[in-house]
Structure 1
Amino acid sequence: MTGILLAILAAVSWGSIVFVSNKLGGDENSQTLGTTVGALVFAIVVYIYKMPELSTVTWAVGFVSGLLWCIGQKNQFGAVRYLGVAKTAPISTGLQLIGTTFFGVFIFKEWQTTTSIVIGLAGLACIIIGALLTSLNQGDDKGQKKSQKEGLLILLFSTVGFVTYVVLIRRFNIDGWAAILPQAIGMVTGAFFITIRDKPYNKYAIRNILTGLIWSTGNLGLLLALPKIGVATSFSISQTGIVISTIGGLFFLNERKSKKQVWIVLLGCLFIIIGGVLLGLTKR
């Protein structure tokens, strides 16, 4: 039960990130920089408390992982400008689950039985359906369709960053507690070089330190849940927090356009959640 609650903590924290950062204001550059600074502050506190042993490999892999995460997060924030929070959150989640599942199956050989393959494929099908539903464009405006295509392209870059940041840690079996500080340093470094041209040093970057603290809380919750309920189950539960971003975007950020669109997006979220749960069951 404790593991489930920790995974839910990750879901609530991560599901709030896009919504909270949007409310705090700023563009994707100031949001990314502020988030990484918040993550670094959190990582320093955790390191002082836990004092994990940091090897050269841990520093190198953690740092690169943080750089990759930065690419993923900046592009996710950037996609909001084209798609809105209500669409960005579920589509991004669906793509990440598909990406991590691909590596889990073909690289780490996690699906070993016929049952797990059937359940896993059903989960992927649900996620794809959900992502398609949330990305549907009801309007015929050409400018709107072009904006959606640009947003989806940005989300593809975001997915590459997010998936590889997770896979890299898994590939080298880096301890979660030890990875936090090198990862946070990589995140801040990546944010500095990626955003320096746009000079994101403003009040919005300072505000979004809160976003980084929220993200780090979710990250810690997931790390603590891993040894209790497993990787697949904990990660799948952690991704169900998209409901928060989606509902926040629809009802609190004035992204609602019609009742039909609201129901379609919510239905898409439901499919993605079901798909995530099914993927979690493949480890049983």
Structure 2
Amino acid sequence: MNLLIALIPAIGWGVQPLILKKINGKPKNEILGTGMGALLIGIIVYLFLSPQSLDRTTFLLSTFSGMFWVIGQVGQYNAYNLLGVSNTMPITTGLQLIGTSLIGVIAFGEWSRSPYSKIIGAGAIILLIIGAALTTISDSKDKKSGFFKGIILLSLTSVGYWVYSALPKIVNADGVSIFFPQMLGVFLGAVIYVIMFRGKDAFKDKKSWKAGIVGFTFSISALAYIFSAQENGVATAYIFTQLNVVIATLGGIFILKEKKSSKELGFTLLGLLLIIVGSIITIFL
């Protein structure tokens, strides 16, 4: 049962981009629907799991954490249109892991168990960089312009994911307790994004409401990860989540029919392998 719980985030986060592309909405529809779905699950968890009450500071930091997640996710949703799912997912995963690992070392003093930890950790980050770079290799010159824009977009917006991961480490509360304010933050961030970019029509668009399925998928997966970490340990739970990038990338190729030459596919698979190996190494430091 514990391993089944561990698989939920991997599958949920892996199929999330595939569902979005099947709905075929615009980024404003996608992020608004995600926010609405996430808020609904957050409210249900708050009502039925009776999490501990939070002080104002913890609640606000958790809410801001969710709002910063939206920055990263908007970048990812826009990158799907520039790079495709099969290219976006390995790159964004690599960038997230690099950023969160460096923040963990610099801000929270992680990787300090032995003199060799930082050396091995640096090697893991190099693997992540090489792996992400390999997935961008393309035979087509026509793709390079879109690739460049997509990579720049992901590089800038991944900061949102880094802050989303870092803020909860500051507060003294369990994952279930901060779950609702985080999902509230996701919803508020999505609404702010839609209003700022003049997308108020998204509130009436059916594709936004359909994208609520993705919000359910994201939030249920996030909740399952909390329970998986409690039952299986953080290292095991996190390793299982890395299967999501494999599911999403291969799903983009074989389900969404994103074209790749045999050379591009080979480099993508090798890049995925390096990203997974690098991420596993960072967990055990």
TM range (shorter): over 0.9
Alpha-carbon distance between aligned partners in 1 of 2:237 and 2:98, rounded to the nearest angstrom: 15
Cα-to-partner distance string for 1:155-214 (whole Å, 9 max, x where unaligned): 123311111011011122332111111111111111112113123221111111111111
Alpha-carbon distance between aligned partners in 1 of 2:11 and 2:117, rounded to the nearest angstrom: 27
Are the aligned partners of 1:124 and 1:275 in contact in 2 as well (CA < 8 Å)? yes
Aligned to 1:70: 70
User: TM-score, length-normalised on structure 2?
Assistant: 0.92
CA displacement at 1:233 relative to structure 2: 4.7
Cα RMSD (Å): 1.7
Instruction: Count residues with an aligned counterpart.
Output: 279
Aligned to 2:136: 135
Alpha-carbon distance between aligned partners in 1 of 2:170 and 2:14, rounded to the nearest angstrom: 26
CA displacement at 1:115 relative to structure 2: 3.9
Cα-to-partner distance string for 1:29-88 (whole Å, 9 max, x where unaligned): 100000111111111111111112132122211111111011111111011111100010
Are the aligned partners of 1:68 and 1:162 in contact in 2 as well (CA < 8 Å)? yes
* Residues 8, 24 of structure 1: alpha-carbon distance in 2 compared, 3 angstrom cutoff: same
Which one of the candidate residues 240, 243, 258 is aligned to 1:240?
243
Aligned to 2:267: 264
Alpha-carbon distance between aligned partners in 2 of 1:69 and 1:155, rounded to the nearest angstrom: 13
Q: Write the letter of the residue equivalent to 2:16.
A: I
Q: Write the letter of the residue equivalent to 1:61.
A: L
Aligned to 1:120: 121
CA displacement at 1:116 relative to structure 2: 2.7
Matches for 1:177-256 after TM superposition, within 5 Å:
177-196=176-195, 197-198=198-199, 199-201=201-203, 202-256=205-259
Cα-to-partner distance string for 1:209-235 (whole Å, 9 max, x where unaligned): 111111112101211123344445533
Alpha-carbon distance between aligned partners in 2 of 1:277 and 1:203, rounded to the nearest angstrom: 40
Q: Write the letter of the residue equivalent to 2:177.
A: A
Are the aligned partners of 1:15 and 1:239 in contact in 2 as well (CA < 8 Å)? no
Matches for 1:156-175 after TM superposition, within 5 Å:
156-175=155-174
Q: Unaligned 5+ residue runs, structure 1?
A: none
Matches for 1:26-175 after TM superposition, within 5 Å:
26-52=25-51, 53-112=53-112, 113-141=114-142, 144-175=143-174
CA displacement at 1:264 relative to structure 2: 1.4
CA displacement at 1:117 relative to structure 2: 2.6
Alpha-carbon distance between aligned partners in 1 of 2:213 and 2:39, rounded to the nearest angstrom: 12
SS in 1 for 2:242: helix
Q: Write the letter of the residue equivalent to 1:184.
A: M
User: TM-score, length-normalised on structure 1?
Assistant: 0.92
Give me the identity figure in percent. Answer: 36
SS in 2 for 1:224: helix
Cα-to-partner distance string for 1:83-114 (whole Å, 9 max, x where unaligned): 10001001000000011100111111111113
Q: Write the letter of the residue equivalent to 2:171.
A: F
Are the aligned partners of 1:122 and 1:278 in contact in 2 as well (CA < 8 Å)? no
Q: Unaligned 5+ residue runs, structure 2?
A: none
